[in-house]
Structure 1
Amino acid sequence: MIKDSRFQGYNMKGFQKDVTAGLVVGVVAIPLGLAFAIASGVEPIYGLYTTIIAGILISILGGSKYQIGGPTGAFVPLLFGIVMQYGYESLLIAGFLAGIMLVLMGLLKLGNLMKFIPRPVIIGFTTGIAIIIFSGQIANFFGMKVEKHEAFMDNMKELVIKADTINLYSVIVAIICFVVILLAPRFVPRVPGPLLGLLISTMAAYLLFPDKVATIGSTYGAIPRGFPEFQVPELSVEVIITLLPVAFTIALLGGVESLLSATVADNMGGTKHDSNKELVGQGIANIATPFFGGIPATGAIARTATNIKSGAASPMSGVIHGIVVLLVLLVLSPYAAHIPLASMAPILMFVAWNMSERKEFAHVLKTKTADSAVLLVTFLITVFTDLIMGVGIGLLIAFITFIAKMSHTLKVRERSHEITEIVPIDNSDSMINVYNLEGPLFFGSIDVLESSILENLDNKTKVLVLSMRRVTYMDTSAEAALLAIVNRIGKYKGKLIISGIQQQPKELLLSTGLYHKIEKQHFFKSKEDALYFAKKQLKGNSDKVV
């Protein structure tokens, strides 16, 4: 830990700051851990186990100085779907497999690649998750007795069908919690609003409406006091193969969420995280957590921001936050059974509201560009169909629109008139064609290359000069198109001459052998040299121009 750059210059003063920040974040994490576990379809205690184990390991082993890890809202719809379809035990195995995948992603240096996910996809996905979380708490807010479904529309229909089961006492408790959360930042800014709302609404329900509202105890039983027991999930090849797709989804979502949170921490704290190390830390935490019954975890943006605002000085604050939750679990867990489910609903609703990125959503929509379409498609598919499908199709559309835009950036300009500006006019000028290429040469732009040059080549062209000074990138598809040009002009006993070729295209042509097929003496630094050489070629003079 001493060699860790995140602890550089660490001293007792920094430790005192970490104790304060860890205490604050730990207190904030308790109601969130309980709420996220319940919303994910598992017993609330597993949310606390996740907060403790994953929180400590992510802080110690991750690549961010201020990252706080644990169960998050982004995972809720995904984990709930897994529990509904496969069961809790399978969720543990999926989380374990996802942890291995995250470690491999980090070791393979894939952390930087996740930064290239388009912003509209992230906004659409995050807002979609927020809608699912918010709507999923309506039943608890109103104390309704409903059957939970995996599909969004099925849950909405269930709310309409069971509207007659609204519990007025639950509504009162939920409103009390909601009002306290809303007013706490104004009147008691140093006390976490969710915790204060939870305490006051729980006391109100316990004293004013005993046995009138559903509680954690009446729904899930008493929360055990003590350390989580070590347990080994039953693994088999068949189970692993079945769960690999959902495990990959967990890993992908967890990786993106953790790196987003780490980036937020960098912006707030003036630091720079190690994305690959962060993925490894997240992976190890998710490998270990299932052995204690914990659910998948990732970087928590809101808790990380709270950590920084509370004066954290190092990753030690994250370790302390996990210890605080553990101590509360050991001492106060029996009292958690009295917490009404109606008190948890406003907390998750506020989480959903804060993570919805509604301003960014509206901003992208106002642009009325291809990004708007990517945003809407990702959002709608995430809400109404499937999380990973929403991201997948969003990425696909973003990819297609990007390729479409980039394909128009290649400019092929015919410049045969420049010959007379460089060398005297003679009858050979009509046998030389000159083109300036500007922009990337890749699979999305080769149609421009082919339609502008290849289709216009005939037996009159004896020398084709391509100026590639402004071509900084070429892929193998473009190299194949260039080979077709070489073969076509060779058919007419002509020559291809290239001027100003950049390093990357040159290296590609060397690796494929096309450079030698064109011949080394046909490459020039300047277009002027290339044109002089072309004129001499037609006159039968093959002297090289240096």
Structure 2
Amino acid sequence: MSITGEQASKLHQLRQPTFTELYMPKLVTVWREGYGLADLRADVFAGLTVAIVALPLSMAIAIASGVTPDRGLYTAVVGGFIASLLGGSRFQVGGPAGAFIVLVAATADRHGVDGVILATFMAGLFLIAAGFLRIGTYIKFIPYPVTVGFTAGIAVIIFASQLRDLGGITLAGKEPSEFVPKLVALAGGLNTINPSAIVVAVVSIAIIAGLRRWRPSWPGILIAVVLAAIATAALSLPIETIGSRFGGIPRELPSPALPAFSLAKAKAVLPDAISFALLAAIESLLSAVVADGMTGRRHRSNCELVAQGAANVGAALFGGICVTGLIARTATNIRAGARGPLAGMLHSVFLLLFMVVAAPLASYIPLAALAAVLVVVAWTMAEKQEFATLLRSSWGDAVVLLATFLLTIFRDLTEGILVGFALGAVLFIHRMAEMTGIEEHSPLVADDRPDDGNGERVRYDSGLAVDRDVLVYRITGAFFFGAASAIGGVLDGIADKRKGLVVDFAAVPFLDSTAANVLGRVAAKSHRQGIRLFITGASPAVRRALLTHGVTPPLARYRETIERAVADIKAAPGVNASAVDEPVG
């Protein structure tokens, strides 16, 4: 039994998931499948493991973002809990991300911490709206060179942002947030380098790298930070710590409160809020895809966007910064044996307990050690092998990659993503247009033309045609605006003496309005010249598009096969077969 395109479309519509299926949190799904004591034990262990990793990272990211370390912890505790509670991925872990360092630091520099919190709140609302509008389905269309380019660019910027604390450099004024001015300012302060800070940073990096290689199951980041804090306190090293710069961290969460709001402030931070939402959507869905690949599960992209939006709103209410799904912590969660979203929720609970119990000890953590942590993060996230592979793969991918990479570093992250996406789209259109072709076709030999020995069919020899008045063209590939001009030029060159023209659409899976309009012009020209135009092999969807754009009798007639169209053209004028169109399938 054959199924027409229209019937297939109706069946697809019948299979569309319901609202509940789209937005049901994975926590509910896991609970319905059966959740036992063994699962709970596994999630407790996984949550504790991730919390140990997240504790120093959350503070380090907050400091690098130009805010106090406690705001990073608030983000991980509140935002991470909500993201796992409502999320569309079983294993996603949310919190502050290194990718946001550039955006948050720039926003804090322009609008203050209040501006960051308001932008985070607004970004959360945008993400919720995007989820309910089902925009999450389309995030996957971002080209791979764009994601690699902006990730590598962010890694470079993170590294540059840590140079001050790595070397214990003292600057006369505020450190610039832009890349080039930052490097210039740091170069001017090289004479203030603190050898003790460099030693602490280098030893911390060595400990993290060594433990990753020889003891990968150990919490290398936490061990390095703790040892650095002990050494700094025991040796009274003259370097900056969390306590000397920020006065420590609180032992409890603040009371929730709405961000300071005014229309002028909201308008001012709107571009930053859009950037936060865009990056949070990309980062969280990429992380969910990675988790799917590691576990064989499937996440709900739009549900995940709604959850990340709610997490950002919640974090902002408690004075936190941007929240997103985190690839490194999500992967750690999976490797630690997590069974469901409860692991991510418990990671937030453990972080809160660490704040309550160990907050006074955080004052002794040297900033050089936290800078070392972010340097390792930047090195890991740079995707160096993928970057090199894309540079070698093709000139188009290399252009998209480098444009995104350089714009992210020297201009703006959002600009880098948008320009990279635009270049990727143009490259795709160019490639699709090259794949679309039109060739003169013999109604006698059809697809039985001989092979040239290399797997290619021999080009049509016009001498084989019996009737010189019949011209047959076959279009192959997607007939869209990128190829419409070239194909339209060929069809417009029809000789005036031709009796009939057949255009075969059997190998055209898709036709857009530009292509339909081009064919409409060809049909009108053929009709004026007395040339009978027949369209063959068009699918129901293609035929409907052509009819909508005026490619209708008597300008053009539709047949199922080339042979039928040629027979009708050869028939004497007035034959009924030539005046009746076959029904639309």
- Whether these two folds match at TM > 0.5 is yes
Pair 491,59 (structure 1): closer, same or farther in 2 beyond 3 Å:
same
What is residue 205 of structure 1 aligned with on the other side?
232
What is residue 153 of structure 1 aligned with on the other side?
180
What is residue 416 of structure 2 aligned with on the other side?
390
Aligned pairs (5 A) from 1:508-523: 508-515=545-552, 518=555, 522-523=557-558
Q: Deviations over 1:218-256 (max 9, x none)?
A: 111221111222122122222222222221111111101
Pair 2,54 (structure 1): closer, same or farther in 2 beyond 3 Å:
closer
Q: Deviations over 1:39-71 (max 9, x none)?
A: 110010000000001111000101000000000
Task: From 136, 145, 149, give the equivalent of 1:111.
Answer: 136
Q: Does 1:340 align with 2:377?
A: no
Q: Does 1:478 align with 2:504?
A: no
Conserved? CA contact 1:169–1:209, under 8 Å:
no
Q: Does 1:542 align with 2:559?
A: no
In the alignment, the residues of structure 1 paired with residue 546 and residue 261 of structure 2 have an alpha-carbon distance, to the nearest angstrom, of: 50
- Give the percent of matched residue pairs that are identical in Structure 1 and Structure 2: 37
In the alignment, the residues of structure 2 paired with residue 435 and residue 185 of structure 1 have an alpha-carbon distance, to the nearest angstrom, of: 63
Q: Does 1:438 align with 2:501?
A: no
Instruction: Tell which deviates more after alignment, 309-318 or 155-164.
Output: 155-164
Partner SS for 2:90: coil
Aligned pairs (5 A) from 1:521-540: 522-536=557-571, 538-540=572-574
In the alignment, the residues of structure 2 paired with residue 326 and residue 429 of structure 1 have an alpha-carbon distance, to the nearest angstrom, of: 85
What is residue 405 of structure 1 aligned with on the other side?
431
Give the residue type in structure 2 aligned to 1:222. G
Task: From 540, 543, 547, give the equivalent of 1:503.
Answer: 540
Give the residue type in structure 1 aligned to 2:575. N
Q: Does 1:379 align with 2:413?
A: no
In the alignment, the residues of structure 2 paired with residue 39 and residue 517 of structure 1 have an alpha-carbon distance, to the nearest angstrom, of: 70
Conserved? CA contact 1:457–1:488, under 8 Å:
no
Q: Does 1:49 align with 2:74?
A: yes
Q: Does 1:182 align with 2:216?
A: no
Instruction: Tell which deviates more after alignment, 182-191 or 381-390.
Output: 182-191
Pair 421,325 (structure 1): closer, same or farther in 2 beyond 3 Å:
closer
1:368 Cα deviation (Å)?
A: 3.8
What is residue 16 of structure 2 aligned with on the other side?
none
What is residue 324 of structure 1 aligned with on the other side?
350
1:172 Cα deviation (Å)?
A: 1.8
Pair 233,368 (structure 1): closer, same or farther in 2 beyond 3 Å:
same
Aligned pairs (5 A) from 1:45-124: 45-124=70-149
In the alignment, the residues of structure 1 paired with residue 310 and residue 432 of structure 2 have an alpha-carbon distance, to the nearest angstrom, of: 39
Conserved? CA contact 1:510–1:516, under 8 Å:
no
Partner SS for 1:399: helix
Partner SS for 2:510: coil
What is residue 20 of structure 1 aligned with on the other side?
45
Unaligned runs of 5+ in 2: 1-24, 449-462
Aligned pairs (5 A) from 1:111-150: 111-146=136-171, 147-150=174-177
What is residue 461 of structure 1 aligned with on the other side?
498
Give the residue type in structure 2 aligned to 1:162. G
Pair 2,451 (structure 1): closer, same or farther in 2 beyond 3 Å:
closer
Conserved? CA contact 1:419–1:429, under 8 Å:
no
In the alignment, the residues of structure 2 paired with residue 135 and residue 506 of structure 1 have an alpha-carbon distance, to the nearest angstrom, of: 57
In the alignment, the residues of structure 2 paired with residue 435 and residue 429 of structure 1 have an alpha-carbon distance, to the nearest angstrom, of: 15
In the alignment, the residues of structure 1 paired with residue 28 and residue 277 of structure 2 have an alpha-carbon distance, to the nearest angstrom, of: 25
Partner SS for 2:50: helix
Conserved? CA contact 2:131–2:305, under 8 Å:
yes
Conserved? CA contact 2:77–2:348, under 8 Å:
yes
Partner SS for 2:84: helix
Pair 215,470 (structure 1): closer, same or farther in 2 beyond 3 Å:
same
Give the residue type in structure 2 aligned to 1:87. G
1:188 Cα deviation (Å)?
A: 4.4
Give the residue type in structure 2 aligned to 1:73. G
Conserved? CA contact 2:27–2:90, under 8 Å:
no
1:283 Cα deviation (Å)?
A: 0.7
Q: Deviations over 1:304-362 (max 9, x none)?
A: 00000000000000000000000111111121111111110110001001100001001
In the alignment, the residues of structure 2 paired with residue 387 and residue 185 of structure 1 have an alpha-carbon distance, to the nearest angstrom, of: 30
Instruction: Tell which deviates more after alignment, 290-299 or 169-178.
Output: 169-178
Pair 187,363 (structure 1): closer, same or farther in 2 beyond 3 Å:
closer
In the alignment, the residues of structure 1 paired with residue 30 and residue 207 of structure 2 have an alpha-carbon distance, to the nearest angstrom, of: 37
In the alignment, the residues of structure 2 paired with residue 421 and residue 533 of structure 1 have an alpha-carbon distance, to the nearest angstrom, of: 21
Partner SS for 1:378: helix
Task: From 299, 302, 307, give the equivalent of 1:281.
Answer: 307
1:174 Cα deviation (Å)?
A: 1.4
Q: Deviations over 1:91-133 (max 9, x none)?
A: 1111111111111111111112100111001101100000000
Give the residue type in structure 2 aligned to 1:29. A
In the alignment, the residues of structure 2 paired with residue 525 and residue 366 of structure 1 have an alpha-carbon distance, to the nearest angstrom, of: 45
In the alignment, the residues of structure 1 paired with residue 155 and residue 526 of structure 2 have an alpha-carbon distance, to the nearest angstrom, of: 59
Aligned-CA RMSD value: 2.2
Give the residue type in structure 2 aligned to 1:14. D
Partner SS for 2:438: strand
What is residue 30 of structure 2 aligned with on the other side?
6
Q: Deviations over 1:164-192 (max 9, x none)?
A: 01011111221221222122235544331
Task: From 379, 391, 396, give the equivalent of 1:365.
Answer: 391
Partner SS for 2:473: strand
Task: From 355, 378, 396, give the equivalent of 2:381.
Answer: 355
Give the residue type in structure 2 aligned to 1:310. A
TM-score, length of structure 1 as denominator length: 0.95
Conserved? CA contact 2:27–2:86, under 8 Å:
no
Give the residue type in structure 2 aligned to 1:351. V
In the alignment, the residues of structure 2 paired with residue 307 and residue 188 of structure 1 have an alpha-carbon distance, to the nearest angstrom, of: 17
Conserved? CA contact 1:40–1:77, under 8 Å:
yes
In the alignment, the residues of structure 1 paired with residue 313 and residue 499 of structure 2 have an alpha-carbon distance, to the nearest angstrom, of: 66
TM-score, length of structure 2 as denominator length: 0.88
Instruction: Tell which deviates more after alignment, 183-192 or 429-438.
Output: 183-192
Q: How many residues align?
A: 539
